[in-house]
């Protein structure tokens, strides 16, 4: 009996008509440990965002535009793939024209998620505390028991007591008694601790109860708390086993409690005593964390230097070698990893490298495997999106690289993506600038050609934390102001199915000029492939931007290149006339 039929049998026993399975685990992080990746187990889909709906006769997988091509290659035939927002779960429910009972794991959904799923359809929601996937999954994956550790002040630049006082000030200003912080990256940032609880980010799983006077209880796996951590916090932070969290939560009465609307699960929300008033606004730690201090910005520049050296050396190796030896998507990404490991400060990737040649480059969040692994040869584009974790910060960079002779059409597309990239880099920021305002200028060159891309232009980036963080972002829907100190990606793109993909991504940060204006400053230091550019499509300002960018990184990278690489760097960074 296959997995879905096993699940349907259990659904019948639970008197349910359907069951929903999200990508996230109970910590709502972007990258889910293998032991908690229930969506992949049931559907085969490995992307970082999705939702499965199992009905008695049909099964659906909902993904956004980044993942439609990937889902087609990964998902079993049992599932119909639906692209959000064109089709949402409530559209399926409405078509049924009858009231159904929908089972779900209350620890894996927030009230907001459930509201979006159900909308106005005839649904009876049934929380089931025992996850039904776990009842059919013989999961042998080991869970990490590695200890948490303190991040040194030379890396974080701000004592945890200062951070706590800022949160206290916010709570008192809003007359809120408690903050329930369930976003684990916020906890890691607040306490200046890191761990091994996620694949690509140094997270410390748990939950925090924070009262307005600064008393903190951290509910976590206390076996991961070292004596050094306990000593450093003295009695400012109390560490308690995570399983006791509900008991403590239920004891709070007649108080105002701020719950994190993104990550406070339905389960915890419903276990808060009814005498309390829930304040459903954004956890203030998100914004505090998003605005980097001077130490973080200074260190991040070092991280990008390390990445720039490794990536530039890799690109030169690839350009010099693909005609002489067999290079595949997998061997190329392994080679890049080897270059990164030559730096003793390199820790691990900040996400799984996207190494896509030709048609595979059109799959936005592609992951090469033995079945899809293409040889990098002939005449096409190679898209490489990679990132690193250092104590000095988190990186994320994409380069699209010419292999062989590139057609005029591909150069036209590449040049217009580059025009959008430059428009973001040169954007004059005001105090009122929102993420969606910047997104528009990035898309404009492609929209003139009746093209677009189905992802945001940019995302916030953490400091030795998540490679994707909010609230800042560059997308049509982002209404947050871009503030000095925020780090974002700048990555417009174009994707032609089964043919090629283009994306050019630098990390940038918002740097204050005066009280009313700021500018974006580039962090990424990797040449942009001039072989892909049709310079006739660029105006003088755009050509000047490229020349200035290349001149800057030439002098920064020059001391780290050997004699052969220096010749190639000189050519790669020479001016476009």
For residue 117, the model assigns a pLDDT of 87
Higher per-residue confidence, 532 vs 70: 532
CB-based contact 415:533 (threshold 8 Å): yes
- Distance CA(241)–CA(75), nearest Å, equals 38
Domain spans of the chain? 3-136, 149-288, 294-572
Angle among Cα 569, 572, 575 to the nearest 5 degrees reads: 115
CB 259 within 8 A of CB 269: yes
Helix (H, G, I), strand (E, B) or coil at 484: coil
Q: What percent of the chain has pLDDT over 70?
A: 100
d(C-alpha 299, C-alpha 49), whole Å: 30
Read off the pLDDT band of 121 (50, 70, 90): confident
Average pLDDT of the chain?
94
Topology given in CATH for the domain delimited by 294-572: Creatine Amidinohydrolase (3.90.230)
Classified by CATH at the fold level, domain 3-136 comes out as Creatine Amidinohydrolase; Chain A, domain 1 (3.40.350)
Residue 1 pLDDT exceeds 60: no
Strands 388-390 and 348-349: antiparallel
Q: In what order do the strands lie in the sheet with 458-460?
A: 429-430, 517-522, 506-512, 487-490, 458-460, 469-474
Distance CA 33, CA 200 (A): 10
What local confidence, expressed as pLDDT, does residue 262 receive?
A: 83
Give the distance, in angstroms, between the CA of residue 128 and the centroid of all CA atoms in the same chain: 29
Put simply, whether the predicted model's pTM sits higher than 0.85 gets the answer yes
In whole angstroms, give the CA distance from residue 6 to residue 372: 30
3-state secondary structure (DSSP) of residue 348: strand
Q: Higher confidence at residue 138 or residue 419?
A: 419
* Digit-coded pLDDT (tens) for 280-318: 889 999 999 999 999 999 999 999 999 999 999 999 999
Mean predicted confidence (pLDDT) in 67-77:
84
Give the list of residues 6+ apart from residue 338 with CB closer than 8 angstroms, or none.
Answer: none
pLDDT, residue 73, reads: 84
Give yes or no for a contact between 405 and 528, defined as CB atoms under 8 angstroms apart.
no
Whether 177 shows a pLDDT value over 60: the answer reads yes
Intrachain domains 3-136 and 149-288 with the same fold: yes
Q: Does domain 149-288 have CATH number 3.40.350.10?
A: yes
For residue 143, pLDDT over 90 is answered with no
**In this structure, are residues 51 and 21 in contact, taking their beta carbons and an 8 Å threshold?**
yes
Q: Determine the pLDDT at residue 233.
A: 94
Pick from 501, 482, 508, 503: which is nearest to 492 by CA?
503
Nearest in space to 495 (alpha carbons), one of 369, 367, 360:
360
> Which residue did the predictor score with more confidence, 69 or 353?
353
Which pair of tokens denotes residue 283? 């956890």
Band of residue 22 on the pLDDT scale cut at 50, 70, 90: very high
Compute the average pLDDT of residues 226-237: 93
The residue-averaged pLDDT of 324-353 equals 98
């Amino acid at each position: 009996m296959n997995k879905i039929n096993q699940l349907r049998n259990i659904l019948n026993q639970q008197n349910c008509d359907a069951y929903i399975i999200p990508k996230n685990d109970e910590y709502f992080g972007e990258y889910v440990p293998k032991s908690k990746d229930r969506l992949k187990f049931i559907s085969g889909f490995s992307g970082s965002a999705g939702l499965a709906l199992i009905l008695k006769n049909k099964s659906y997988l909902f993904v956004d535009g980044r993942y439609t091509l990937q889902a087609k290659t990964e998902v079993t035939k049992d599932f119909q793939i639906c692209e959000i927002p064109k089709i949402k779960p409530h559209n399926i429910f409405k078509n049924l024209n009858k009231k159904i009972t929908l089972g779900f794991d209350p620890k894996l959904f927030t009230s907001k998620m459930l509201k979006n799923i159900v909308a106005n359809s005839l649904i009876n929601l049934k929380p089931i505390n025992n996850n039904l996937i776990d009842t059919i999954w013989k999961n042998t994956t080991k869970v990490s028991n590695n200890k948490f550790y303190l991040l040194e002040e030379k890396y974080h630049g701000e004592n945890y007591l200062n951070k706590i006082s800022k949160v206290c000030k916010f709570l008192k200003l809003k007359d809120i008694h408690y903050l329930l912080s369930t976003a684990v990256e916020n906890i890691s940032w607040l306490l200046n601790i890191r761990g091994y609880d996620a694949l690509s980010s140094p997270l410390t799983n748990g939950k925090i109860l924070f009262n307005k006077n600064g008393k903190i209880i951290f509910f976590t796996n206390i076996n991961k708390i070292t004596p050094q951590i306990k000593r450093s916090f003295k009695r400012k932070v109390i560490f308690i086993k995570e399983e006791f969290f509900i008991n403590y939560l239920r004891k709070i009465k007649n108080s105002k409690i701020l719950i994190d609307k993104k990550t406070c699960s339905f389960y915890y929300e419903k276990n808060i005593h009814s005498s309390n008033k829930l304040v459903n606004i954004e956890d203030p730690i998100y914004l505090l964390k998003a605005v980097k201090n001077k130490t973080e910005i200074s260190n991040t520049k070092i991280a990008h230097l390390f990445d720039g050296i490794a990536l530039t050396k890799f690109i030169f190796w690839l350009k010099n070698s693909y005609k002489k030896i067999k290079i595949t998507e997998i061997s190329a990404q392994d080679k890049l990893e080897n270059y990164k490991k030559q730096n003793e400060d390199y820790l691990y990737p900040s996400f799984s490298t996207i190494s896509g040649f030709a048609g595979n480059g059109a799959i936005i969040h592609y992951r090469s495997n033995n079945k899809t692994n293409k040889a990098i040869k002939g005449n096409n584009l190679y898209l490489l999106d990679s990132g690193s974790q250092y104590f000095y910060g988190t990186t994320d960079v994409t380069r699209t690289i010419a292999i062989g002779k590139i057609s005029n059409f591909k150069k036209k597309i590449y040049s217009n993506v580059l025009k959008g990239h430059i428009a973001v880099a040169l954007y004059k920021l005001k105090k009122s600038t929102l993420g969606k305002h910047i997104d528009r200028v990035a898309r404009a060159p492609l929209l003139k050609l009746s093209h677009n891309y189905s992802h945001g232009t940019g995302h916030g980036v953490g400091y030795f934390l998540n490679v994707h963080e909010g609230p800042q972002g560059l997308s049509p829907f982002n209404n947050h102001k871009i503030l000095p100190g925020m780090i974002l990606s700048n990555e417009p793109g174009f994707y032609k199915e089964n043919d090629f993909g283009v994306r050019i991504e630098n990390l940038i940060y918002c740097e204050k000029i005066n009280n009313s204006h700021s500018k974006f400053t580039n962090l990424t230091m990797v040449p942009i492939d001039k072989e892909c550019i049709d310079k006739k499509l660029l105006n003088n300002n755009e050509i000047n931007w490229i020349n200035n960018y290349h001149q800057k990184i030439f002098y920064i990278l020059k001391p780290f290149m050997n004699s052969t690489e220096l010749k190639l760097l000189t050519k790669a960074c020479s001016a476009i006339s």
